[in-house]
Structure 1
Amino acid sequence: MSEVFYTSLRTRVGESLLDKLERLVRRAGMDKIDFNNKYVAIKLHFGEPGNLAFIRPQYVARIVKLIKEWGGKPFLTDCNTLYVGGRKNALDHLESAYQNGFNPYNTGAHVVIADGLKGLDEVLVPVPDGKHVKEAKIGRALMDADIIISLTHFKGHEAAGFGGVIKNIGMGGGSRAGKMEQHSAGKPYVQQDICVGCHKCEQYCAHDAVHVTDGKSFITEEKCVGCGRCVGVCPVDAISPMWDEANTVLSEKMAEYTAAIVRNRSRFHISFVMDVSPYCDCHGENDMPIVPDVGIMASYDLVALDQACVDKVNAQPPMPGSLLDEKIEKSWDHFHTIAPDTDWEAALVRAEQLGLGTRSYSIVEVK
């Protein structure tokens, strides 16, 4: 059984939530990690422009401050997105991060986009016991780091059920090609009405699967290996993944990608169970929270932490007027009520099988 440390959002006069966060991580033993002269990847989601539910930069700044006090060299990181938006390449991603307050002046740490300018800078990491993934495609900066600290905004997700530590690290840490592998069992396709025939995809394909004919790109499925390079380099976003993976398999793949990133490495995890929006921070908007704010939770065990967070949320009453409150048919599982085709439990079961932690936990409350 693992310990999950929890603090509520109640404060007294003269004490801020930043002080409670620091007390929480100290009590949870984060300072036991040897940070001295180590590169520390702080993995978080910077929020899509227009979304306001992401973790406040002030919380991040306090964690950065502590890591520096303990001798570490922290940087904030995430990988580029597979879909079109404000974080599909490093330049747009940095701009989005800065707009949302994640810059060196606010947080005390630089932002490094882990998979590089176009999402092609990756490391192939073996997953010898993978059921779906044998070689995960991970953003290089994440694998170059000595220590992984995850800061997760816990919320709902339309494909994974909820977005917790496994989603943050596993899906978030995958390069654009890694994200495509998790989301899709098929090959990418070209939207001919958008394609401008620039030959970029043809130049980057290592398998001679892409050719431009009569000003339009075509993919030969027999040659395509589904690596996703063409998706990353297309300047007009004319090439898209199939988005055809079943949600149970998606959840299991995320766990296997998480294993590729965290195994045999020092790591610690903090989840902010507040502003629990029904959908991912990848949206350019955020709906009102589905439940009242719960608090902040931390653990060395990412499986126990995700399980504890989902249990805490499911124990809350629906927020009046929220999407959850509007659902006529409700179950004990708030996330399944909102997205009934999802299977969040599959990620936890698979992560436990992979030895990443246990779903059995005890709560230690930090006042």
Structure 2
Amino acid sequence: MKKFIKRLLGLTAAAAVALAGGAAFGAEAEVPVVYFTKDISPAGLLKIYDKISADITGKVAVKLHTGEPNGPNLLPLPMAKALVAHIPNSNIVETNVYYSSPRQTTEGHRETLKTNGFDFCRVDIMDEFGTVMLPVKGGKHFTEMSMGESITDYDSMVVYTHFKGHSMGGYGGSLKNIGIGCADGKVGKRMIHAKDGSQWGRTQDEFMEAMTESAKAVVDHFGKRITFINVMKNMSVDCDCAGASAAAPALADIGILGSTSLLAVDQATIDMIYALPENKDGGLRERIESRHGLRQLSYMKELGMGTGEYKLVSLD
């Protein structure tokens, strides 16, 4: 663990490009910074947030995945409580889900929030009262995406993500948190998952691309007023949407990463997984590759959301 973190920390931009498999561009000052700490605690989280929060203003949506009832791998509640308390005029936002779950309805969703302890602040279920279409620029699947209506009530968004595996996406990073998590439960999520009249139907690559286009709509909507945090703790091959049946984590906790660049933070997180010996990755690499999860990263590059380059800076 210490060896691979040392290899990643303090890299020059060129070295980070080589690690990510990209090509160099421009000056080092143009390369997105990804901040990292091994301190997975409220203090560590706030230390990361304060480095990436310069453009977070006004009414702030804190987007996180609150999970199915009694999920065993959810991030510690004190971290979410500390983050919301630290950000003026903020509250948690969610949307209802597409699959069979108590969270398919707003009423069931609110009961789940109580069960999982997320009743410590206001939680806005953004599609409770309707939907809104946000433009998708440059996509090949969509020209617009259906989102929870109240996303337009916010000036800024903080994307607070529990990084872990996922049965369909391979992994769930910041991209999935907003690409699926801001799309409304009945229209937007169906647009992303469904094809040819079926409930699901997309190929793995198509699903990754559709999810990425949805995330791009959110990023473009907020512009500079969006920032991203990935917490590498309790990393199961399953998502928190698996609820009580989620597999137990099979790899050690790593730390917290934060950036103002969506592609940079997800690329850096994936690079940390791939820097682990295969017998120490808890099955995440196989889960990612069997679901074509890396297509999330390559398609972000194709959509002009970045190059995959970053400079990793330790706050420890």
Normalised-by-shorter TM-score class: 0.7 to 0.9
CA contact (8 A) 1:277 1:287 kept: yes
The residue type equivalent to 1:18 in the other structure is P
Q: Are residues 1:276 and 2:300 paired? A: no
CA contact (8 A) 1:143 1:261 kept: no
CA contact (8 A) 1:292 1:318 kept: no
Q: 1:29 aligns with which of 41, 52, 56?
A: 52
Aligned-pair CA distance for 1:78 = 1.1
Q: Are residues 1:248 and 2:197 paired? A: no
Partners in 1 of 2:270 and 2:176 — Cα distance?
13
The residue type equivalent to 1:364 in the other structure is V
Identity across aligned pairs (percent)? 29
* Map of 2:16 onto structure 1: none
Alignment of 1:99-178 (within 5 A): 99-104=115-120, 109-116=121-128, 121-176=130-185, 177-178=187-188
Partners in 2 of 1:186 and 1:49 — Cα distance?
32
* Map of 2:63 onto structure 1: 43
Output one character per residue of 1:301-322: Cα deviation in whole Å (capped at 9) or x when no partner. 11010011111122234677x9
Output one character per residue of 1:209-237: Cα deviation in whole Å (capped at 9) or x when no partner. xxxxxxxxxxxxxxxxxxxxxxxxxxxxx
Greater Rg, structure 1 or structure 2?
Answer: 1
Partners in 1 of 2:230 and 2:282 — Cα distance?
22
Partners in 1 of 2:172 and 2:95 — Cα distance?
16
Change (3 A) 1:74 1:132: same
Output one character per residue of 1:249-274: Cα deviation in whole Å (capped at 9) or x when no partner. 11111111011112142101111111
* Map of 1:7 onto structure 2: 37
Aligned-pair CA distance for 1:341 = 3.4
CA contact (8 A) 1:86 1:96 kept: yes
Number of aligned pairs?
282
Unmatched runs of 5 consecutive residues or more in structure 1: 11-16, 189-240, 325-333
TM-score by length of 1: 0.73
CA contact (8 A) 1:9 1:296 kept: yes
SS at match of 1:283: helix
The residue type equivalent to 2:76 in the other structure is R
Partners in 2 of 1:22 and 1:340 — Cα distance?
32
* Map of 2:42 onto structure 1: 18
Partners in 2 of 1:304 and 1:340 — Cα distance?
19
Alignment of 1:342-361 (within 5 A): 342-361=291-310
SS at match of 1:87: helix
Alignment of 1:49-88 (within 5 A): 49-68=69-88, 73-88=89-104
* Map of 1:219 onto structure 2: none
TM-score by length of 2: 0.84
Partners in 1 of 2:124 and 2:115 — Cα distance?
15
Output one character per residue of 1:242-295: Cα deviation in whole Å (capped at 9) or x when no partner. x11001111111111011112142101111111111011111222121321011
* Map of 2:287 onto structure 1: 338
* Map of 2:216 onto structure 1: 259
Aligned-pair CA distance for 1:116 = 0.7
CA contact (8 A) 1:292 1:316 kept: no
The residue type equivalent to 1:62 in the other structure is A
Q: 2:251 aligns with which of 278, 291, 312?
A: 291
Partners in 2 of 1:247 and 1:62 — Cα distance?
36
SS at match of 1:63: helix
Mean alpha-carbon deviation: is it higher for 57-66 or for 243-252?
A: 57-66
Partners in 2 of 1:178 and 1:34 — Cα distance?
26
CA contact (8 A) 1:75 1:111 kept: yes
- Which has the bigger relative contact order, CA under 8 A and spacing at least 6? 2
CA contact (8 A) 1:54 1:281 kept: yes
Output one character per residue of 1:140-178: Cα deviation in whole Å (capped at 9) or x when no partner. 122321111101000011211110011000011111211
CA contact (8 A) 2:146 2:183 kept: yes
Partners in 1 of 2:232 and 2:288 — Cα distance?
19
